[in-house]
A and B are shown apart, each in its own frame.
Chain A
Amino acid sequence: MSDEELEQILSSEDALAPSSGFARGVMAAVRTEVAAPPPLPFPWLRFFVGIGACLVMAAAGAALSVQADGIVRDIAVTLRGTGPELGYAAIALVGSLALARFPRVFARD
């Protein structure tokens, strides 16, 4: 294909006439758009109040944990003492869940 031939083909495209209802369809879509309620704005005030509250809580938590260092150590010692009981509780929980599943497996068959 020569350059002239290609140029001729690309520049000789016929115009496409719109279908009769095209403008009406566009205007119907425009009217729907205008009638639609405006999108809800992002609640920036609530967002910043929430962020502020989180920061206050985090600061308060950090201050309390520094003050209550001794209390935390006591809790850790107490929890270490209840190790076996926690293990029993975990085994009982797993056993209960297994017992609850067992009949369902048979029921499916």
Chain B
Amino acid sequence: MGEPNDDDADLARVQAGDPEAFEGIVRRWQGRLIGLAWRFCRDRAAAEDMAQEAFLKAFRSLATFRRESKFSTWLTAVALNTYRSRLRSDGLPLLAMEPTRAISVAPVALADLQEQERTEAVRRLVLTLPRRYREAIVVYYFEERDLAESARVLGIAEGTLKARLHRGRELLKRRGAEKTR
């Protein structure tokens, strides 16, 4: 994750007309933006494409960044808006379900594999939730369960976020139960 001082220095240089200084910002924040995109599409190529679009949008909007919020909050909010419009125009990705590679796998490894597949299935189930619950869950866990920061990124009140998280988790559990039935 980025060091605030490095970001400030690079931001000042970009705002003064040196676009090359943006590379430092990209290198420090690429993992975070790709990670967030990945949670919304679970496809590596699409995640990198979405993250590139988010960086470009951030570059274009840097002139309007007034330092009223933390740079990380601002950048994550820009990325979230980009991913939101991208998913709205392109739709949710079609997720290929990997076949179970159980042949000639030792029993212990097989148990691990089944557990991994189950975990991945639950994470993919998040993508089937209505947008408001999906975004609440993705951002909240991406922000390491920091309620205040997640609410700032989403641009909603903490109480609203809490309600959406509760409803989203309930929906997830219900859908998970329906799937295993």
Interface of A is mostly: helix
Q: Contact: A16 with B172, CB < 8 Å?
A: no
A side interface size, CB within 8 A: 23
| A26 & B122 in contact (Cβ 8 Å cutoff) | no
Contact A31–B19 (Cβ < 8 Å): yes
A11 near B: Cβ within 8 Å? yes
Q: Is the CB of B59 within 8 A of A11?
A: no
- Residues of chain A within 8 A (CB-CB) of B51 are 18, 22
Would you call B55 an interface residue if the criterion is a C-beta within 8 Å of the partner chain's C-beta atoms?
Answer: yes
CB neighbours (8 Å) of B144 from chain A are 11
Q: Give the nearest-CB partner of A2 in chain B.
A: B173
Q: With an 8 A cutoff between CB atoms, is B159 at the interface?
A: no
Asked if A19 meets B23 with Cβ closer than 8 Å, knowing A6-B172, A9-B119, A10-B141, the reply is no
- CB of A64 within 8 Å of the partner chain: no
Is B22 in contact with A27, judged by CB distance below 8 angstroms?
yes
Contact partners of B145 in chain A: CB under 8 A = 11
Q: Which of B131-152 contact A (CB under 8 A)?
A: 137, 141-142, 144-145
Q: Is B158 an interface residue (CB 8 A)?
A: no
A-B contact pairs, 18 of them (CB 8 A): A1-B173, A9-B119, A9-B123, A10-B137, A10-B141, A11-B144, A13-B39, A13-B123, A15-B31, A18-B51, A19-B44, A22-B51, A23-B26, A26-B30, A27-B23, A29-B52, A33-B59, A34-B19
Task: Say yes or no for A75: interface residue by CB 8 A criterion.
Answer: no
Q: Is the CB of A26 within 8 A of B38?
A: no
B27 touches A3 (CB 8 A): no
Closest CB-CB distance, A30 to chain B, in whole Å?
5
Q: How far is B52's CA from A57's CA once the two chains are assembled, in angstroms?
A: 52
Q: Is B176 an interface residue (CB 8 A)?
A: yes
